[in-house]
Amino acid sequence: MFDFPEIFALPLGEWINIAVDWLTVTLSSVFNIITIGIRTPLVYIERFLWWIPWWALILILAILAWKVARHWVATVTVIGLLFIGLIGLWDHTMTTLAIIVTAVFVSVLIGIPLGITAAKSDRFEQSIRPILDGMQTMPSFVYLIPAVFFFGLGKVPAVVATFIYAVPPSIRLTNLGIRQVAAETVEAGKAFGCTGAQLLFKIQLPLARPSIMAGVNQTIMMALAMVVIASMIGASGLGLEVLRGIERLDVGRGFLAGFAIVIVAIIIDRISQAFGRAGTTRK
Amino acid sequence: MADNNHKIRCQGLWKIFGPRPESIRDLIENGASKQEIREATGHVIAIRDVSFEVQDNEVFVVMGLSGSGKSTLVRCINRLIEPSSGSIFIEGANIGEMDEHDLRELRRHKLSMVFQHFGLLPHRSVIDNVTFGLEVRGDSKKERMENAQKALELVELSGWESSRIQELSGGMQQRVGLARALAIGSEILLMDEPFSALDPLIRRQMQEEFLNLRSKVKKTVVFITHDLLEALTLGDRIAIMRDGAIIQLGTPQEIVTMPADDYVREFVKDVPRGKVVPVSTIIEEPPLVTDGEKSVKATVEEMEKKGVDFAFIVNANGVCEGALALEDALAVKENGATKIGEVARREFPTISPDATLEQGLPLISEGDMPVAALDKGRRLVGIITRAALLKAVQSNGENSGAPKVTTHQG
């Protein structure tokens, strides 16, 4: 009598399975289009990262860091990437980077317009807020499964899963940034005869830029956090190295791959944060 | 339907904030107060049946405390806020009937606005802020630069073109705001408490520069302020608002000398009348006016007969040429043969009838003669005596003719 009566238990899990099966068949063409849409940039980015000589990439990132961020970031970039090369994880890092760059690219491409829409419409903001909450709090393992059903194994479902996990901050902070632009400044734009697009591109987006870039920065960080999890559905790269380290109880291997992820995270974080600051307050 | 001289005409304007403005019509007609309506229905009456006209090249000041509806009113003029009912005409065109495109063109060419907290774009340089309105309406780069340079010159910010906004002080930022508004070359300027966010000293300086600017460029200005002194200093006419309605509309002098009710009276109580009231209100007929050909002897006799110690010499055209003091005349020995034109002072205190009482004070205290009020052609209009001036400065509303009203409950 202390147990919940089993006959009342709803077979909800069953229903979800049925729904997913149905979706897989019915919407297969949609999923095919999405797959192509993700795979195309992914392939090009990956090819580029494999094609570019290691020293050239280090040089480019170091110059970028030197230009936009504090100078020590450039130093960390050089030392960190050299270290990754020395421990033999360069190729894995490039694979991981390709997945992250693609996922962030898709997230920004979809997240910022959604954020703008949310800033312009209270109703839209209210309706997406619970969805965003759900996307962020749902354990990320859970949507690995439908991702596999819809997109198969490999890097494409990894990008999709990473996108779902990482896109909310881009939407939220774009929305917030635009809403926080001083009312008087927006009024000034209108008073001088701005069209809606002029208002957006000349006033709202530039002034919301620090906030939007903070959102993109968070998106990048969350995408990095998904790397290991995504490796469970066949995404190669540093995540897979960590996973193999765990499977084979090879602490050294797992630790080195994990360390490489941290290095990549620090470099991308500092450079992308600096992009948010640039133009508003110069150091 | 609009007279040519009216730049802006506002007729029966209402603005009610709330979900269903029409629903409270009955309450309003039954005379419910703003407070009662807000508590009963949640609707806020921001503007209550406001009508006024702004003439070409006039500075029309709207004065009121916070919550009086003045900022809402100015935003109705360019439809940043949509009025609930009533109409506004700009140069005869009803802006309430304009579609989005026409409204945008109106804002781009005919109206410009200056904001309390400047509303500048911190990600742009000074010059790029000033060109903003021109850029938005699609002017060529060359036109933009020319107009922006001119506007920056007018506000005395030449040389700051490439500075960043954050590097400027508040006063300078508002000059950029003003330059941005001037650059589009509109004839109408809407200024929403433009100097309220500035330090008192800077505010005074900006007010002076505003007056200075007005003498250089022709603009019709609607100026919002909560500072009565600012209103009196800058305004050609002043509308005083309370609870969304205009309770008095008049020249600074009318506001100070004839307050419409206790609310306005309370406001103007502490205003130094000397700053506002012109000397023309206390002008007196000159007791002795003569021409320069008369002999000193004859004039002295005339002065003694009238019991005055001065005379003004006016030629056939009415132009005042000199002033004769009795003591100077008595000092002349050959007084039968000397013409008064020869002994009269060429330098004597004069004032324009439009000058304020305060401006008259130093003249009075210096000389031993009344001050001559001369019009632009130096024709003698009348004299200002020391006694009349001192009395007017000190009276502070007591001689306004308006009966002192005391209110009792009920």
Can you give the length of chain B in residues? 410
Min Cα distance A201 → chain B (Å) is 11
From residue A281, how far is each of A144, B122, B166 by CA, in Å? 41, 10, 9
Assign residue A201 the CATH number of its domain.
Answer: 1.10.3720.10
Take residue B189 and report the two structure tokens written for it.
Answer: 């300027």
- Asked if residue A1 is part of any domain, the answer here is no
Taking an 8 Å cut-off on Cβ atoms, the answer to whether A184 and B115 are in contact is yes
Taking an 8 Å cut-off on Cβ atoms, the answer to whether A192 and B107 are in contact is yes
Q: What is the pLDDT along chain A (283 residues), one digit of tens a residue?
A: 677 767 666 778 888 888 878 887 888 888 888 888 888 888 899 889 888 888 899 999 999 888 888 888 899 999 999 999 998 888 889 989 998 999 999 999 999 999 999 999 999 999 999 999 888 888 878 878 878 888 888 888 888 888 888 999 999 999 999 999 999 999 999 999 999 999 999 999 999 999 999 999 999 998 988 888 888 888 888 888 888 888 898 888 889 999 999 999 999 888 888 887 765 443 3
Chain B window 277-336: which residues touch A at a Cβ cutoff of 8 Å?
none
- Match domain B280-394 to its CATH number in 3.10.580.10, 3.40.50.970, 3.50.4.10, 3.30.70.270: 3.10.580.10
Residue ranges covered by each domain of chain B:
6-271, 280-394
Superfamily of domain B6-271: P-loop containing nucleotide triphosphate hydrolases (3.40.50.300)
- What is the SS3 assignment for A35? helix
- Asked if residue A103 is part of any domain, the answer here is yes
Domain range for residue A93? Answer: 10-282
User: What distance in Å separates the CA atoms of residue A184 and residue A198, rounded to the nearest whole number?
Assistant: 16
From residue B11, how far is each of A122, B14, B94, B349 by CA, in Å? 34, 9, 11, 47
What's this model's pTM, rounded to 2 decimal places? Answer: 0.77
Question: What's chain B's average pLDDT?
Answer: 85
ipTM: 0.75
From residue B335, how far is each of B86, B290, B295, B306, B330 by CA, in Å? 74, 16, 7, 19, 8
Min Cα distance B382 → chain A (Å) is 49
Q: How far is CA A78 from the centre of its chain?
A: 24
> A66, A15, A86, A31: which is closest to A274 by C-alpha?
A66
- The count of structural domains within chain A is 1
Shortest CB distance from A192 goes to which of B116, B117, B132? Answer: B132
From chain B, pick out residues whose CB is under 8 angstroms from the CB of A196: none
A22/B contact by beta carbon, under 8 A: no
Take residue A102 and report the two structure tokens written for it.
Answer: 């693609």
Q: Which range among A183-187, B149-153, B343-347 shows the weakest confidence by mean pLDDT?
A: B343-347
B339/A contact by beta carbon, under 8 A: no
Taking an 8 Å cut-off on Cβ atoms, the answer to whether A206 and B121 are in contact is yes
